[in-house]
Amino acid sequence: MSGQHTKTERRRIRRYRIRRKVAGTVGRPRLSVFRSASHIYAQVVDDERGVTLVAASSREPNLDMTGIEAKGKVARSMAVGRLIAQRAKQAGVAKVSFDRGGYLYHGRVRALADGARAGGLEF
C-alpha cells in the first residue's frame, strides 16, 4: 500500500471518477470511447435501460476515410467519430454525453470527438 499506482490503475481511477458524473439517459445517451494500442472503439449507450444503441470501431472494413488528408491512427479515429455520428443520427440520437473512458482528451480521443461533432452530434 505504497500509494503508488500503475498506469492502468491510474486510468481505472480516472474512469470511475468520470463515470460517477457522466451517465447516459434516454434523451442524452453516453458516447463511450475505448482506445487500444492500435484501434479505437466507440459506442452510444443508454445506461438507464442498459442498452448499446450504436457502435463503431476502426476495425470495420467499410470505414470511410474520404475527406481526411492525414493518415494513421488519428485519421482513423476521426473517421470512426463521423461513422458513430452517422449511425447515431439514424437511430434518432442527436445529443450525447461524452465519456472519454479515463483517457486524456488528446490525440485519438479528441479526433474521435471532433469527427462526431463534424458528423452532427451535439455534446
Domain containing 25 equals 7-118
Residue at 62 is within a domain = yes
Which pLDDT score, from 0 to 100, does residue 40 have?
96
Distance between CA atoms of residues 67 and 83, nearest Å: 13
pLDDT attached to residue 2: 65
| Total domains in the fold of the chain | 1
Burial annotation 46-57 (CB, 10 A radius, 16+ → b, else e): bbeeeeebbebb
**SS3 category, 11:** helix
Task: Please indicate, yes or no, if residue 2 is contained in any of the structural domains.
Answer: no
State how far the Cα of 111 lies from the Cα of 93, in Å rounded to an integer.
20
| Cβ contacts of 64 within 8 Å, gap of 6 or more | 79, 82, 83
What pLDDT score does 106 carry? 95
pLDDT of residue 61: 87
Residues with pLDDT less than 50, the chain: none
> What pTM was computed for the model?
0.87
